[in-house]
């Protein structure tokens, strides 16, 4: 295995690829030899990231569209498949976070979060998975919040979304591993939420990108339906911090 | 980050690193630039030590019985005489001396705990000051039996659950020094003998099925893993790729533990046996 070029010649689609984490993933994938297409909402941001990607690999491209709309997502997937020819890797990094507890969370905010986080993950997976099945190989990486496993006040919506994505990931693996399509997810502190974290300092986008690289390549080929927390051990304190 | 030299300039200690899974881990580390100190009960480990020394000069084998306190302490001394830094401890050693519940033998139960749990506790204690200096990390090889298990496994499962808890405690305690601690939980991993057998029968799908190809009822991945898979998981955790991963337990089990209900003949592609075969061959490529 060439560890310097772990994704040589593979085709990767990164949703939310113009955001901080998605962008880091796309750039690292390109460095490792992948042809990358990023899909995101803001056209200017997409163009900026594509420019940087093309400095690494000319075959990279990006498209902008509404990630809350099923038709727009289907269109984006068509663009991506046209550009790449096929799809070997799908990274669902698109997401948004709006605060609120069960009482104060606005209906519109909750629906928006469901659309951006959960529905987009399911819709992109649904559109791309037939290509992976035809190829008899594929790697899906879903990136979401670590509120899937431990909680903090005022984050009801995103916690529910994250939990849904983790469960969905396991189920995709269950259904498609027979076609050698793996799915794993990465959870990390969303939007720079500060919390009790044993390792000093918050993880950066590049830490999540390295985990996404590991899940996309053969290094992790026996690991399926798993969830990797990239959060400096945030969940492991019981109660107050000891000496 | 240099991805083909992930452990350049690092020094690693691998218990039971002379044979099987431990050998794979140490070869992987050495190829990525780490000096490896491996131990084991069997003096034949010297051969692996010499091989590692050729890949990464300075590496060597030191004889040590991980169930004995004096042996472990002497091992720590000998390592620290040879190096002034330790960046990683990977604890591969593990045995299973379990009995049925009404027949548990005290000595066998205790021996299992000594090797699987006390060994790494003593190593972590001895190397802790060195790890503090290098902001190093610890990797414990546990098992899927730390979570789900089957019968006649009490000594093993309890020692490995304790291993996971021990790693979490190390993660919390070590954080202020930048020390990370993680667990890899392997599922079904082919031994080298099973692997040989597999290659003997590679073209005879029917026979392969008979000798243990797992069906849809067992393992969604249709097969077992190899020591390479575990070595790659350890490599990831040992390197800066996992700089913010601590206290984690990675289930490297081909999905054995996340199933809930049994299922059979459920939308199986017509070529799945061939796929499975390719998948297995691919897995053993070095």
Domain assignment present for B88: yes
Closest Cα in chain A to B252: A223
Residues A166, A167, A168, A173, CA torsion sign: positive
Is residue A158 within 8 A of residue A117, CB to CB? The reply is yes
* Ramachandran assignment for B212, one of left (phi > 0), alpha (psi -120 to 50 degrees), beta (any other): left
The CA distance from B266 to the nearest CA of chain A, in Å, is: 9
List the single residue in A180, A213, A220 with the smallest CB-CB distance to B233.
A220
Report chain B residues whose CB lies below 8 A from the CB of A235.
Answer: 247
Looking at residues A230-237, what average pLDDT do you find?
Answer: 74
Interface A-B: count of C-beta contacts within 8 A: 142
- Phi/psi for B15 (5° steps) reads -80, 145
For A206, the closest chain B residue by CA position comes to: B241
The predicted structure's pLDDT at residue B277: 63
Largest interatomic CA distance in chain A: 57
Structural domains of chain A, ranges and CATH numbers in brackets:
11-229 (3.40.50.720)
- What is the number of domains present in chain B? 1
Residue B284 has pLDDT above 60, yes or no: no
First to last CA, chain A: 43
pLDDT at residue A200 above 80?
no
What ipTM did this prediction achieve? 0.92
Contacts of B180 in chain A (CB under 8 A): 199, 233
CB contact under 8 A, A174 and B225: no
Kindly determine whether residue A223 and residue B252, on different chains, have CB atoms separated by under 8 Å. Answer: yes
A20, burial (CB in 10 Å: exposed 0-12, middle 13-18, buried 19+): middle
**Which chain B residues contact residue A175 at CB under 8 A?**
267
Is B229 close to A223, i.e. CB distance below 8 A? yes
Q: Above 60 in pLDDT, residue B17?
A: yes
Is residue B75 very low, low, confident or very high in pLDDT (cuts 50, 70, 90)?
A: very high
- Is residue B28 assigned to a domain? yes
- State how far Cα B225 lies from the chain centre: 12
pLDDT > 90: percent of chain B: 66
Checking if the pLDDT of B161 tops 80, the result is: yes
> Which pLDDT value is given to residue B223?
64
Looking at beta carbons, which residues of chain B come within 8 Å of A242?
Answer: 172
Q: Please, what is the average pLDDT of chain B?
A: 87
Q: If you average pLDDT over each of A10-24, A173-187, B220-234, B271-285, which comes out highest?
A: A10-24
**Rounded (10°) CA dihedral B283, B231, A88, A116:** 140
Lowest-pLDDT range of A23-27, B74-78, B144-148, B197-201: B197-201
Any chain B CB within 8 A of the CB of A187?
Answer: no
Q: Please answer yes or no on whether B279 and A180 come within 8 Å at the CB atom.
A: yes
Considering only CB atoms, B6 lies closest to which of A3, A133, A233, namely: A3
Q: Which range of residues forms the domain containing residue B154?
A: 11-191+224-256
What per-residue confidence (pLDDT) applies to B214?
45
CA separation (Å) from B41 to A139, A152, B62, B124, B156? 40, 48, 9, 19, 20
How crowded is residue B44: how many other Cβ atoms within 10 Å of its Cβ? 11
- pLDDT at B160 > cutoff 70: yes
Give chain B as a 3 state SS string: CCCCCCCCCCEEEEECCCCHHHHHHHHHHHHCCCEEEEEECCCCHHHHHHHHHHHCCCCEEEECCCCCHHHHHHHHHHHHHHCCCCCEEEECCCCCCCCCHHHCCHHHHHHHHHHHHHHHHHHHHHHHHHHHHHCCEEEEECCHHHCCCCCCCHHHHHHHHHHHHHHHHHHHHHHHHCCEEEEEEECCECCHHHHHHHHHCCCCHHHHHHCCCCCCCCCCCCCCECHHHHHHHHHHHHCHHHCCCCCCEEEECCCCCCCCCCCCCCCCCCCHHHHHHHHHHHHHCC
CATH (domain of B87): 3.40.50.720
In a domain, B218, yes or no: no
Q: What residues contact residue B244 under an 8 Å CB cut-off, 6+ apart?
A: A199, A203, A204, A207, A230, A231, A232
Terminal Cα distance for chain B, rounded: 23
């Amino acid at each position: 295995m060439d560890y310097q070029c772990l994704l040589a010649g593979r085709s990767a689609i990164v949703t939310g690829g113009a955001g901080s984490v998605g962008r880091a993933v796309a750039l690292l994938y390109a460095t490792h030899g992948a042809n990358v297409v990023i899909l995101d909402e803001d056209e200017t941001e997409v163009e900026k990231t594509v420019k940087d990607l093309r400095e690494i690999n000319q075959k990279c491209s990006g498209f902008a569209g509404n990630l809350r709309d099923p038709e727009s997502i289907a269109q984006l997937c068509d663009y991506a498949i046209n550009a790449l020819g096929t799809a070997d890797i799908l990274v669902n990094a698109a997401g948004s976070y709006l605060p609120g507890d069960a009482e104060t969370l606005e209906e519109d905010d909750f629906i928006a979060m469901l659309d951006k986080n959960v529905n987009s993950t399911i819709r992109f997976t649904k559109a791309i998975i037939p290509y992976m099945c035809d190829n008899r190989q594929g790697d899906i990486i879903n990136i979401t919040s670590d509120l899937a496993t431990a909680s903090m006040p005022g984050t009801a919506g995103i916690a529910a979304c994250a939990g849904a994505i983790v469960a969905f990931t396991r189920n995709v693996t269950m259904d498609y591993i027979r076609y050698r399509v793996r799915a794993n997810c990465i959870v990390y502190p969303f939007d720079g939420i500060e919390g009790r974290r044993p390792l000093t300092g918050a993880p950066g986008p590049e830490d999540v990108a390295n985990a996404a690289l590991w899940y996309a390549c053969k290094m992790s080929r026996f690991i399926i339906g798993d969830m990797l927390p990239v959060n400096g051990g945030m969940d492991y304190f019981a109660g107050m911090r000891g000496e | 980050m240099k991805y083909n030299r992930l452990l350049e300039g690092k020094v690693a200690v691998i218990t039971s690193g002379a044979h099987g899974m431990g050998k794979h881990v140490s070869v992987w580390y050495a190829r990525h630039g780490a000096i490896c100190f491996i131990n084991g009960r069997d003096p034949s480990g010297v051969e692996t030590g010499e091989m590692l020394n050729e890949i990464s000069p300075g590496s060597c084998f030191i004889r040590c019985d991980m169930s004995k306190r004096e042996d472990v302490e002497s091992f720590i001394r000998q390592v620290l005489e040879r190096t002034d830094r330790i960046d990683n401890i990977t604890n591969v050693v593990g045995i299973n001396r379990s009995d049925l519940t009404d027949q548990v033998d005290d000595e066998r139960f205790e021996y299992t705990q000594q090797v699987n749990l006390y060994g790494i506790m003593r190593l972590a204690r001895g190397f802790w000051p060195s790890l503090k200096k290098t902001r190093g990390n610890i990797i414990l090889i546990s098992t899927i039996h730390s979570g789900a298990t089957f019968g006649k496994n009490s000594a093993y499962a309890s020692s490995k659950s304790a291993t996971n808890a021990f790693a979490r405690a190390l993660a919390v305690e070590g954080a202020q020094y930048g020390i990370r601690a993680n667990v890899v939980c392997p599922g079904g991993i082919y031994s080298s003998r099973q692997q040989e057998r597999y290659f003997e029968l590679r073209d005879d799908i029917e026979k392969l099925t008979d000798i243990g190809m797992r069906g849809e009822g067992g393992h969604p991945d249709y097969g077992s893993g190899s020591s390479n898979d575990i070595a790659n998981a350890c490599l990831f955790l040992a390197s800066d790729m996992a700089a913010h991963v601590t206290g984690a337990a990675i289930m490297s089990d081909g999905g054995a533990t996340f199933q809930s209900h049994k299922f059979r003949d459920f939308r199986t592609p017509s070529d799945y046996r061939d796929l499975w075969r390719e998948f297995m061959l691919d897995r053993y490529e070095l």
